[in-house]
Structure 1
């Protein structure tokens, strides 16, 4: 069969492959490659489960879903590494991200050099593509071996978070990835310089942003070695607003847990607290114990036992008489 015939056959197969969830992104990228001389990808997509379709229209293009097989993932990654078509790149990243929700694909994508390929799009100027790469890496980061490769991108992720519009999808996708990357202590030091930025997001972000930032801060504060950079970080002077009774429970419980972790770590320090600046997190939260008690005491009236327990951890069991 001639090259033109093979390309036509491949496009027909891909157009019919709506049920596989990858047809459109493969079709567009394959078309682009065909104009540059072809790639023979039709051989790697044979055997896909297909169903007949009356045709592909833009409003009917499905999002790429489903647990793809290894050869499908290989084809997608090859297309991704060579494509300059932004809509195709975005769709392929969505497909890979959805596929990475299946743990069986974590090792496959890593072994196909997929983490490096996907991570390369963190520098892309299109926010949709950048968010797609972050979301895909987030799902892939549920694997500790994958984290060893993803950690090389932490600086790019942190820059994406700090340089993106507040509460944007790129910012949230980056925060979600760092939540996973901070579950172990392995990469905490890589995030230390950006702690002031996290604290600033607590001051200006919406509840969703605050919750993700606080998840990271809780993970960091659970590591005693991170106490010094956390307590020394520059913090907004009004940060204690996170203890306000009007805060949502999801924000409040994480803010209290973060503060309680730091409070307990302070109690273990042997050299005192005199080395923190007046605009540090230590100064905002702990320099005036009486102010901290005033901020936290109303929370002891909450009916939620977990909130009460975290308050007690913050201020110490002997400080207040509990109701």
Structure 2
């Protein structure tokens, strides 16, 4: 609150444009800490587009990218600012597929926030996503990733139910997340996980299978 009252948020946020990656990372981490406060989020939201540009144009798996993704995750815990990420959803999936384990987990945390909001469902389903996305449902995938992609599937299906399968059925193009999640390959992969060695994964799959 003191930083906000002293007008410090813009001062910190201006450092995210710094050419020095270490300063950039520190500024993003400072905004992360500040973004826990809802009042601060109102001031921080004007920098969301800038953070998105940095996250998607900067070096993959870098400390700056991870700090940016964490800030975007904090900013999307509630539905208030999620719409600001609409045009970056395809980019998020691209980073999900190319990033390392830590990056994948952070992107999934962000996507899970979006997937709980029915207003974001159509945007998620429209996203152009490479078919390699389905490999995240393979049994050998790390549990922290596997559980999250299963929850992503579950959340989107739940939102479709709430929305009555999106009252006016939009046209989804080939190569969209809609086609991947509604395809037979996805269904087969999820059904195969019912024999997974981890009890938590098994339990999650059992709740999802009736939705397939």
| TM-score for the superposition, normalised by structure 2 | 0.93
Question: Which residue of structure 2 aligns with residue 151 of structure 1?
Answer: 45
What displacement does 1:309 show?
3.8
- Aligned mate of 2:90, from 192, 196, 203: 196
Question: Which residue of structure 2 aligns with residue 160 of structure 1?
Answer: 54
Question: Which residue of structure 2 aligns with residue 263 of structure 1?
Answer: 157
Unaligned runs of at least 5 residues, structure 1: 1-106
- Aligned mate of 1:234, from 116, 128, 132: 128
Number of residues of Structure 1 aligned to a counterpart in Structure 2: 210
> Could you say which structure has the greater relative contact order, defined with CA pairs below 8 angstroms and 6 or more residues apart?
2
What displacement does 1:148 show?
0.9
Query: Is 1:295 paired with 2:189?
Result: yes
For residues 251 and 197 of structure 1, the distance between their equivalents in structure 2, rounded to whole angstroms, comes to: 18
- Per-residue CA shift, 1:163-202, capped at 9, x if unaligned? 1110001100001111111100000000111000110011
- Per-residue CA shift, 1:96-136, capped at 9, x if unaligned? xxxxxxxxxxx011111111100011111111111111011
Change (3 A) 1:273 1:207: farther
- Aligned mate of 1:138, from 18, 21, 32: 32
For residues 253 and 169 of structure 1, the distance between their equivalents in structure 2, rounded to whole angstroms, comes to: 24
Would you say the 8 A contact 2:125–2:176 is kept in 1?
A: yes
What displacement does 1:302 show?
2.3
What displacement does 1:313 show?
4.3
Question: Which residue of structure 1 aligns with residue 172 of structure 2?
Answer: 276
Would you say the 8 A contact 2:191–2:209 is kept in 1?
A: no
For residues 270 and 174 of structure 1, the distance between their equivalents in structure 2, rounded to whole angstroms, comes to: 31
What displacement does 1:298 show?
2.0
For residues 141 and 270 of structure 1, the distance between their equivalents in structure 2, rounded to whole angstroms, comes to: 32
For residues 204 and 167 of structure 2, the distance between their equivalents in structure 1, rounded to whole angstroms, comes to: 25
Q: CA RMSD in A?
A: 1.6
Would you say the 8 A contact 1:263–1:313 is kept in 2?
A: no
What displacement does 1:315 show?
3.5
Q: Which of the pair is proportionally richer in helix? A: 2
- Aligned mate of 2:181, from 275, 281, 285: 285
What displacement does 1:217 show?
0.3
For residues 194 and 231 of structure 1, the distance between their equivalents in structure 2, rounded to whole angstroms, comes to: 13
Question: Which residue of structure 2 aligns with residue 249 of structure 1?
Answer: 143
- Aligned mate of 2:115, from 221, 244, 247: 221
- Per-residue CA shift, 1:225-261, capped at 9, x if unaligned? 0000000011112111111111111111111111111
The structure with more radius of gyration: 1
What displacement does 1:204 show?
0.4
What displacement does 1:293 show?
2.0
For residues 145 and 195 of structure 1, the distance between their equivalents in structure 2, rounded to whole angstroms, comes to: 25
Would you say the 8 A contact 1:192–1:229 is kept in 2?
A: yes
